[in-house]
């Protein structure tokens, strides 16, 4: 049985680990699904094809490994997730700062994570 802890770990392809609250992490749809205790690997209702073979282990260990996202980008993703959480109830929030060298990769990651 999977234990739903408060914190989840996101691991980048170069080995960086980021620990963050589950509630923030699950803003990202993909992460939410990955961490969600799945009923079965071949669940047809799951629209997105899960790139990770082992869903179960994810749910058990509360970690998500991303093979296609680098550490720096993942860090920015985490920052965004917290930013999102923070300004959840506000309007006209200022944009988060994104350095130019990351913006394309971030775009890629954002598309993958559907966030």
Task: Report if residue 19 touches another protein, rule: CB under 8 A.
Answer: no
**Cα(29)–Cα(77) distance, rounded to whole angstroms?**
13
Task: Report if residue 51 touches another protein, rule: CB under 8 A.
Answer: no
| CB 77, min distance to another protein, A | 7
Q: Are 48 and 56 in contact (CB under 8 A)?
A: no
Site string for another protein, 55-94 (x = CB under 8 A): ----------------------x--x--xx--xxxxxxx-
- Footprint on this chain of another protein (rule: CB under 8 A): 77, 80, 83-84, 87-93, 95-96, 98, 100, 103-111, 113, 115
């Amino acid at each position: 049985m999977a234990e739903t802890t408060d914190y989840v770990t996101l691991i980048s392809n170069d080995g960086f680990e980021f620990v963050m609250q589950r509630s923030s992490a699950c803003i990202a749809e993909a992460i939410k699904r990955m961490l969600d205790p799945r009923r079965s690997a071949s669940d047809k209702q799951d629209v997105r094809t899960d790139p990770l073979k082992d869903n179960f282990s994810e749910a058990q260990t509360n970690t998500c490994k991303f093979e296609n996202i680098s550490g720096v980008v993942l860090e920015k993703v985490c920052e965004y997730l917290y930013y999102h959480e923070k300004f959840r109830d506000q309007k006209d929030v200022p944009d988060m700062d994104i350095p130019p060298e990351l913006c394309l990769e971030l775009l890629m990651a954002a598309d993958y994570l559907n966030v």
